[in-house]
Amino acid sequence: MTRRSARQTFAAIHWTTALAALLLAVLVVPSVRATEVPIGVSASQYAVLYEGTGGNTLHITNVTINGNVGVGGTGKVSDSGPSTVKGRLDFSAANTSQFSGAPGDTGPTSINYSVAAVTTALNNVNSLNSSLAGLGTGLAISGTQTINASAGQLDTVNGVTYRVFNITSYTAVDGNVLTINGDLNGDPVVFNFSATLGDVNLKGDVTLSGLNDDQVLWNFTGSGKNINLNTNASSYKLPLAFQGIILAPNDVLSLTNANLDGRVFGGDSSDMQIVSGDTIKAPTTVVPEPATLALLGTGMLGLASFVRRRHK
């Protein structure tokens, strides 16, 4: 080996090592973002999670779901369409022909059975639901109003700090807008609904300031109640929507003519309805910060420059 080729070999090793270090930095340097509700990696894959207990059915009719759908237990899905599901449909159970679709449907992108991640996801969110029950300072939600997260009770559960409100009443109509302002620390916000409220009709729209959809949890801790979301989506244009994660593992869930930017989890041992013009938009996956991407780009440009010089 000549002295020149030895230098080239050494330089190639140097640049390869440097690029490997930069790639590792992209993987380990976290994005700058506030704490989100800890639903777990499995649940974060889904826009909709249905308990499916007792072989009941998730009904989908004339809706758009931008995200994956997970069905637990021996639950079924009936899509009477035309509907658009821009994601997977995952069943925790083995294939027993529990899906029926309609002509004119778009998606799901795939239908999968015996998916263990669905059971894991449901277990995680059900545990979260019960661990937050009973917490919070009292709050009545009525009409158009602004809620500052800093007014909520500061609670730390399983290492995560929340701002928690205990909802004493909920009254809203079409056109009402609920504005939720985050606190300076970016703590997730929890709205606890106990069984004493009875059935709850979620209406009106929600706007978030200093928060994202995965930082707001609408947590229903009762059992056997009817929880319905209807924002009268056909009467106005997007981007107006209800925002956050709706979690009601022990209640009957239905979405009718609703825009939801977030997720809906639950449904208990009853049929679940997602029908009549709903649009569900799941939060997007985090990407690396621009500065991290720039660092990677610089390293790749350097390697490309070395390769060009070597060829010359």
**What pLDDT is stored for residue 3 in this prediction?**
52
> What do you get for the CA distance between the two ends of the chain, in Å?
19
Q: Are 186 and 34 in contact (CB under 8 A)?
A: yes
Specify burial of residue 54 (Cβ count, 10 A radius: 0-12, 13-18, 19+). exposed
Q: pLDDT 10s digit of each residue in the chain, 312 long?
A: 555 554 554 454 454 444 444 444 444 443 334 699 999 999 999 999 999 999 999 999 999 999 999 999 999 999 998 899 999 999 999 999 999 998 778 989 999 999 999 999 999 999 999 999 999 999 999 999 999 999 999 999 999 999 999 999 999 998 999 999 999 999 999 999 998 999 999 999 999 999 999 999 999 999 999 999 998 876 655 568 999 999 999 999 999 999 999 999 999 999 999 999 999 999 975 444 444 444 445 444 554 454 455 544
Letter string b/e over residues 192-206, b meaning 16 or more CB atoms within 10 A of that residue's CB: bbbeeeeebebbbbb
Specify burial of residue 99 (Cβ count, 10 A radius: 0-12, 13-18, 19+). middle
Place of tokens 């925002």: 243
Ordered DSSP codes for the chain: --HHHHHHHHHHHHHHHHHHHHHHHHHHSPP---------TTGGGEEEEE--GGG-EEEEES-EEESEEEE-TT-EEEE-SS-EE-SEEEESS--SS-EE--TT-B--SEEE-S-HHHHHHHHHHHHHHHHTTT-SEEEEEESSEEEEGGGSEEEEETTEEEEEEEEEEEE--TT-EEEEE--TT---EEEEE-GGG-SEEE-SEEEEES--GGGEEEEE--SS-EEEE---GGGS-TT--EEEEEEETTSEEEEES-EEEEEEEE-TTS-EEEESS-EEEPPPPP---HHHHHHHHHHHHHHHHHHHHHH-
**What pLDDT is stored for residue 37 in this prediction?**
98
For residue 146, give both structure tokens.
């602004």
**What pLDDT is stored for residue 202 in this prediction?**
96
**What pLDDT is stored for residue 34 in this prediction?**
67
Specify burial of residue 109 (Cβ count, 10 A radius: 0-12, 13-18, 19+). exposed
Q: Are 87 and 67 in contact (CB under 8 A)?
A: yes
**What pLDDT is stored for residue 157 in this prediction?**
98
**What pLDDT is stored for residue 13 in this prediction?**
47
For residue 111, give both structure tokens.
């239908």
Q: What are residue 263's phi and psi, to 5 degrees?
A: -140, 160
Report d(CA 7, CA 65) in Å as an integer: 57
**What pLDDT is stored for residue 7 in this prediction?**
52
For residue 93, give both structure tokens.
């159970």
Sign of the Cα torsion 190, 196, 197, 198 reads: positive
Strand order from edge to edge, sheet including 200-202: 99-100, 76-79, 57-61, 272-275, 252-256, 226-229, 200-202
DSSP lists the bridge partners of residue 50 as 71, 266
